Structure 1
Amino acid sequence: MIKRLLAGAAAIGAIGGLGFLYYAWYPPIEPVEPPDRGSFSAEQIERGRIVAAEGYCAECHTRTDNGGGPELAGDYKMDTPFGAIYSSNITPDPETGIGNWSEEAFQRAMHLGVSRKGVHLIPAFPFDHFTKMTDQDVSDLYAYLMTRPAVHMTRRPNELPFPLSLRLLQAGWKLLYFTPGVYKPDPRHDALWNRGAYLSEGNAHCGACHTPRDFMGAEKKSAPYDGAVVDNWIAPPLNEHNPTPTTWTEDELFQYLRFGVAPLHGPAGGPMSPVPHRFLSTVPEEDVHAIAHYFADVDHAAEREKHDKAALARAMEQSKIDLVGPTVDPDAKLYQGACAACHYNAAPSPVLGRPDLALNNALWLDEPTNLYQVILHGLTAEEGQTGVAMPSFYNALSDQDMARIAAYLRRTRTTLPPWTDLEKKAAAVRKTITTIPVNSSH
């Protein structure tokens, strides 16, 4: 009897293994000669440029360390909990890029996460979002990439330990987490909302940064847009869990995504900065409006903004107090000397280019990470609001100084509990900055 049970279990295991191999196996697609630029119309190439900008292709496929690298030639380092991953060269170089990929092979990679050679792609490449893109958008993107300058550059090998380095296991990840299929419009919403949802959920892959991940590196479907840690910054929640006292309305979102600064919430910094400046500032305005329209619905802006007037008044009052009369609070004096001159605002609302910290995400998040990053890194004239810079205080403020400023702002600008271990956390964030900013204040 036991032998029969063991034999049955072995047979089931063998059948299951064969079934998994059948599911996981994809044949190679034959290489092609790099297509001639003349085979694509100027209109299709321009449409592809827009698709590439709305998907931020150059952001993850251009090396930034070791002196940088040619655009779209890959080798961008992505640090993950599983090890470092380096992006692919997506220029039309036939040897080190995708120059010998047919459009069929490119479509398969975008929609199914499988390379031309039949190898499963690591989901650091967000094919779980790109699968929602239409065939036309993928075709236009192919036309754009195949007409870029070909760059012969090999990326560094991924640093994934065994057995995570086995690409076949990625098929198991897909079996658990990946549902292929083009975005289907929601009939309960209008065309603008659906356009915004299509872009946000698909090509723009907003959830890849703003949704927390589980132990397998998959986005938590139970917590969409709840915020996550990205490149040593916190990508804040994009839903109703965003803690700022004034609502991210459709107009605030549009201003932020199009121009890099929202009147009430301040400038885009860190990994978010290139999104408005390099990419969304170059696409049709109606697409940015669509994304803003979609997320204003996701965060229930219409229901929440009734509290904004009172929150704004409180913020302006506290900002005025900082510069009126002497203070005996040593932390307040430190803040006045380092920050208040540029962050002071008066009623009725903040001046553009002078962000009010009481309304900024950085003070309302669970950790002071983003506040410390901005203090240490600063903002150049190309980041945040165009032409407005904030110096780095990397050399000017110690970890203890930053901890005092953070504690002061948290208790005077928010209604939330104090942060803990502030000096220790300041030191930890400082260690993530490998290059001292050139605009460092002394």
Structure 2
Amino acid sequence: MLKRTLIGLMSLLVIGVGGFAALAWRPAIAPITPPAVSSFAPDLVARGAVLAGAGYCATCHTAPGGAPYAGGYAMQTGFGTIYSTNITPEVETGIGSWSEAAFRRAMHSGVSRDGSHLFPAFPYDHFTKLTDADVAALYAYMMTRTPVRAAPLENGLPFPLNLRPLQAGWKLLFFQPGRYVEQPARGEVWNRGAYLAEGISHCGACHTPRNALGAEERGNAFAGAPIDHWVAPPLTKANPSPVPWSQDELVTYLRRGVSRFHGVAAGPMSPVVHDGLARLPDADIAALGLYFADVGQAAARAAEAQPAIERALAMNAHDPGLPYDPTARLYAAACASCHFNGGGQVNALRPDLALNSAVSLSDPTNLIRVMLYGVTAREGAPGIVMPGFAPALSDADIARIAAYLRATRTSHPAWPDLEKTVAAVRAQGRGQE
């Protein structure tokens, strides 16, 4: 009886392993000789350049100080470090031997030319929504870049997470392949914004929380999430900013990297605006603005804006703690001269901290990072610099100012363990440049 039971269990195991192997197997696609650059129509290449910008391909596939698109950019995940790959048309270490069919399969299905499954750090769960025409344009652009020989770096994933066949199981659970399906009742502009946001620009990859297996929580889209030691704020009505993100503010922010009522694009959002979306035409930026204004229910919250602005300006005009509160005086010495707004107006280049998104978030990380490391001339508003106070102020000083702003500029509860959080953020350093 025991022998028959063991034989049965072994048979089930063999069948299970065989079934999973069949599920995971994908055929290789034959390599090709790289097509001549002249074989791609210039207008197709130009269109691909716009799409590559919208997809932040250079941002993720270029290591700090490295050649464009040659890979090696370190992406920290909850499971270990994954390095981006070389997507230049170099034959041995890049995608020079990839046919358009192989490239399209990678974009739509997350499978490499050799048949191996790609890790979802490559956002094929968003790129699957792209039309074949847009994938063809991206292929034309990538295959006309300068080939760079750059061998892939070894990922820092532990066993068995480093086994690519296991990605087939992940896909079975979390991946929904298929092109974007329009919603005609929403109108052409809204659908264009949705196609960009959910597809090539993969906004949910940063702004949507992930489950324990690293998949986006689809039922909680755009609800905010930690990313690269920052916090990507909610894009839904849950965003705690005092002034709701209107369509006009979204368009201005996505086009220029600065919002009068929310602050500037810093951290991971800076290259999104200045290196990626900068290539999109104004019509596409307007479409993204319309789409996310709808996601955030901006119209329903419009009445909240003016009272919030008036409260912020009133606080600028009279800070009751300044004469006797040492922390208020520290804030006045370090911050107030640049962040003061008066005359009944808010100046976009002097962000009002009573309105700034970072002060209202439930997590103080963004505020602390900006206080410690500042905002460079190529981030945020072009040419405007905020100095970092990491060399000048202690963890306790930074924590005091953050607590003061939270208490005086918002009605939200105090952040706990601020000094410990400041120390942790300082230990992380500024991050990749």
> Does residue 1:361 correspond to 2:343, yes or no?
no
Deviation at residue 355 of structure 1 after TM alignment: 0.5
Cα distance in 2 between the residues matched to 1:14 and 1:290 = 52
Once the two structures are overlaid, the 10-residue window that deviates more, 14-23 or 159-168, is 14-23
Residue 329 of structure 1 aligns with an amino acid whose one-letter code is D
Deviation at residue 377 of structure 1 after TM alignment: 1.3
Residues 434, 288 of structure 1: alpha-carbon distance in 2 compared, 3 angstrom cutoff: closer
Q: Does structure 2 conserve the Cα–Cα contact (< 8 Å) formed by 1:313 and 1:347?
A: no
Give the TM-score normalised by the residue count of structure 1: 0.95
Residues 436, 193 of structure 1: alpha-carbon distance in 2 compared, 3 angstrom cutoff: closer
Deviation at residue 380 of structure 1 after TM alignment: 1.4
> Does residue 1:173 correspond to 2:138, yes or no?
no
Q: What residue is the counterpart of 1:440 in the other structure? A: none
Residues 436, 80 of structure 1: alpha-carbon distance in 2 compared, 3 angstrom cutoff: closer
1:38-437 → structure 2 map (5 Å cutoff): 38-64=38-64, 68-322=65-319, 327-433=323-429
* Secondary structure at 2:226 match in 1: strand
* Secondary structure at 2:336 match in 1: helix
Cα deviation 1:252-292 (Å, max 9, x = unaligned) = 11111111001211111111011111121222111111111
Q: Does structure 2 conserve the Cα–Cα contact (< 8 Å) formed by 1:91 and 1:151?
A: yes
Q: What residue is the counterpart of 1:35 in the other structure? A: 35
Cα distance in 2 between the residues matched to 1:7 and 1:436 = 54
Alignment coverage as a number of residue pairs? 433
Q: Does structure 1 conserve the Cα–Cα contact (< 8 Å) formed by 2:373 and 2:430?
A: no
Q: Does structure 1 conserve the Cα–Cα contact (< 8 Å) formed by 2:251 and 2:285?
A: yes
* Secondary structure at 1:273 match in 2: helix
Cα deviation 1:388-432 (Å, max 9, x = unaligned) = 111111111110110110010000000000111111111110011
Residue 211 of structure 2 aligns with an amino acid whose one-letter code is D
Residues 2, 222 of structure 1: alpha-carbon distance in 2 compared, 3 angstrom cutoff: farther
Cα deviation 1:146-191 (Å, max 9, x = unaligned) = 0011111113100111111111111111111001001100123111
Cα deviation 1:339-387 (Å, max 9, x = unaligned) = 0000001243311200011111111111210011001111112110111
Q: Does structure 1 conserve the Cα–Cα contact (< 8 Å) formed by 2:126 and 2:198?
A: yes
Cα distance in 2 between the residues matched to 1:6 and 1:90 = 49
Residue 237 of structure 1 aligns with an amino acid whose one-letter code is P
Q: What residue is the counterpart of 1:22 in the other structure? A: 22
Cα deviation 1:63-102 (Å, max 9, x = unaligned) = 02xxx20111000001111111100000011111101100
Cα distance in 1 between the residues matched to 2:93 and 2:236 = 40
Deviation at residue 7 of structure 1 after TM alignment: 5.8
Deviation at residue 10 of structure 1 after TM alignment: 5.2
Q: Percent identity?
A: 55
Cα distance in 2 between the residues matched to 1:326 and 1:210 = 37
Cα distance in 2 between the residues matched to 1:266 and 1:327 = 28
Q: Does structure 1 conserve the Cα–Cα contact (< 8 Å) formed by 2:28 and 2:113?
A: yes
Give unpaired runs (5+ residues) of structure 2: none
Cα distance in 2 between the residues matched to 1:211 and 1:144 = 29
Once the two structures are overlaid, the 10-residue window that deviates more, 377-386 or 106-115, is 377-386
Q: Does structure 2 conserve the Cα–Cα contact (< 8 Å) formed by 1:317 and 1:347?
A: no
Q: Does structure 1 conserve the Cα–Cα contact (< 8 Å) formed by 2:32 and 2:99?
A: yes
Cα distance in 2 between the residues matched to 1:21 and 1:239 = 40
Q: Does structure 1 conserve the Cα–Cα contact (< 8 Å) formed by 2:105 and 2:112?
A: yes
Deviation at residue 319 of structure 1 after TM alignment: 1.6
* Secondary structure at 1:85 match in 2: strand
* Secondary structure at 1:270 match in 2: coil
Give unpaired runs (5+ residues) of structure 1: 438-442
